[in-house]
Structure formats: structure tokens, C-alpha cells
Amino acid sequence: MLMGNLFFDPQTGLGNFFGLLKAATNGTFGTKGTIITLDLTELIKDETNDKKTIDSCIRALAGLIRAEITRDDYRRMAAFRIGDGEFVIVLPEKTQAEAENLAAEINLLFREKASWHSVPGVEVCTGTATYGEYGKNGASVSTILKAAYLALADCRYAEFPMHLPIWAEKLIDHMVERVYETLDLLDEAFTLALNDEISGLPNYRAAELFLEQMLEKYRRYGEPCSLLLIDGDNLKQYNLLGYQQGNRMIRELATLLKNALRHNDRVARWLSGDEFLVFLHNADHHFAVQIGERLRAAVEEGSKDWPYPVTISVGVATCPEDGVTGEELLAKAEEANNAAKLGGKNQVCGANGCYRGPVRFQE
């Protein structure tokens, strides 16, 4: 789903609190296991640490957690960021001793990384709690949440009640069920509002969100990024075949573009019927032109057997060279696309010229 990121934390790439609810509701965690809570709250509360330092530490801890998820012996592990400095790791079928060993390992590695960011001696406060056998249908949401917050309390407080009354667990289950149903409806509503029915791609509203997200990543990490404005060449001939054939061509063109991109890149339908925007993360100008040429060639080759073979013109704009705002990048991409159209179409144009075929740059 387009808005699947409702369940993910954009800063770390881990699941968020809603993602934890979703996983628990779906029975992802099985019937027994152990939970680790990692807490950076004290680091965040320390007024001597600026936002950049805190963000670096949060990303470092998330990176360590993601690395553990890929290990064979922890492949069923799931991790979530449930607060500013609070992380939860769920380890199905693992014992408390195994969880404590993993928590100690992450803590040690994090202290080493934190020292690189001039935060010497900082530790992750770690707590563990077990959730026991619950039944053939898996652990209840209240069981998972209780274990998570008991681990957090174990991290913060010397004494904390270890049991909830039955009515409290039932209340939690009921509230979580209603929250999850609401999230499902919200997810569906966002998907309908941000998808283009004809192409099957995200629409122009989603494109505006993608552009802002891409630029926010540039502002946060300093990675270059690029925008491609794609316009179909002479596609009006499909109007002679009727709307149904025209819509089919748009869908097939969208599929060609989507299949030629990297996994993390995105394409959306833009303002007019045959306009598309492509968002390239961590892509400088040279690389963006090469991707543009790949798309151009894919469309030219892939449409050979269509009723009317089609081509595209591609305009390239790169952040920060061509601008650091959405308006600036869109203006530059449109300017480059116009140059491609005026130069004969079926080509890729950017600040350094126009290309068709293998891309070679003069240094």
C-alpha cells in the first residue's frame, strides 16, 4: 500500500508503535518469547546534546538493530521505534538469557559508535521481559504491550508492578483492536486519495509528498538527489483508438518505467495524461542522466509491438546543483524537458546537455 509507511518510522526505517500493534495483532510474534527495550531518553533530555548529535545516535542504534535482524540466529526478530528514544525488539522463541546477551552486545557496540559522535560514555538503558505461552492463536496484543512496557520500566525504575489485572488487559485488547481498525481505514483512504486509477501509480498529490520526503532526506543527510520529468512523445495518436486503448497505453507505459527503476526509487503520474515524475534518492547528475537514458531506452524497446510505438523525452534536475526546493527542481526539470522536446524528442536533457544512447561525460 502506498501509505504503508503509517507503520514505519521514517528516520530509522524500523517499525513504529502502530507497526508494533499491527504485528502483534497479526500474530507475528508467536506464542512465547522475550522483549528487549532500549531507551535513549536520558541522552535526549541532556541539554548539552544538540539535535544533530541525538539524531546521529538514534540512527547509529537503529543501524545496529537492523544488523542484528539479518543474522541467521535472530532472523525472526522484529524491531520498532515506539518513542523519541525508545526502541523495542521482539525475539520470538528466545529466552531471557539470550535476550540479555543480545542487549549487552548492542549496548557495547553502541557505546563505541557514540564515542565517534563526541558523546563519550553514553549507554543504552536496556530492559528485558518475557511473554509466556498464550495459546494456539498466538500472544495477545495486551501481552506484547505489557512485556514491552515492563521492560521499559525495568530499564527506568527499581520497582514496578509486574502484573496487570484481567480487566486492564481486556481493556487494552479492546482499545488496540479499535485503533488497528481505524488505521486500516486510514490506510485505505490514503491509498485511494493518492493513487492514480488509470496508471496504477501514485498520483500528483503523492508526487508532491515524495518530492518533499526526498528533499528532507537531502537536508538531513546531505545526499544528492535527482528529479526526472518524463513526457510522452506524440501520444495523441492513441486518441484515434479510443479512451480504452489510450488508458491501456498509459498503464503499460507506467509499468515500463516502474520496472526500469531501482528498488528505492519512485515514479508517479504528474499533471497531464502522459507526464511522469521519477524521484532518485542518493543520485548525482551523472547517475540521474544514466537512469533517464535507461528509462528512455526501455520505453523505446518495450513499445515496439504496441499499436503505435512510443518514445519519451526526459528532463533532469539535481539537488543541490539545480536547486534545493521543490519549486526550483520542478522548474529546472521542466526547462530540461522542454529542451529535449525542442531538440528532437526521444532524448534525455540536463544541465550538461542532451543524450540519446550510451551516456559519456566529459570531465
Mean pLDDT by 10 residues, the chain (363 residues): 66 87 80 86 74 82 84 77 88 87 88 67 75 58 77 68 67 75 75 83 91 89 94 87 88 95 92 91 95 96 94 97 96 97 95 82 46
pLDDT reported for residue 2? 45
- CB-based contact 107:124 (threshold 8 Å): yes
Give the C-alpha separation, 270 to 251, whole Å.
14
CA 72 to chain centre: 24
Residue 131 to residues 31, 100, 125, Cα–Cα distance (Å): 8, 15, 20
- Phi and psi at residue 66, in whole multiples of 5°? -60, -35
Q: Tell me the sheet residues that pair with 318.
A: 226
Domains of the chain: 4-192 (3.30.70.270), 204-355 (3.30.70.270)
Instruction: Kindly state the cell numbers that stand for 247.
Output: 488508458
Question: Quick one: pLDDT at residue 116?
Answer: 64
CB within 8 Å of 19: residues ≥ 6 apart = 7, 8, 9, 80
- Provide the grid cell at 337: 524537458
Q: What is the model's pLDDT at position 243?
A: 82
CB neighbours of residue 142 within 10 Å:
20
| Beta carbons within 10 angstroms of residue 135's beta carbon | 8
Q: How far apart are CA 44 and CA 64, in angstroms?
A: 19
Give a three-class secondary structure readout of 177-210. Answer: HHHHHHHHHHHHHHHHHHECCCCCCECHHHHHHH
Full-model pTM: 0.59
The per-residue pLDDT for 119 is: 58
Eight-class DSSP state of 5: G
- The DSSP string of 57-110 is HHHHHHHHHHHHHTSGGGTT-EEEE-SSSEEEEEEET--HHHHHHHHHHHHHHH
CB environment 185-194: b (16+ within 10 A), e (fewer): eebeebeeeb
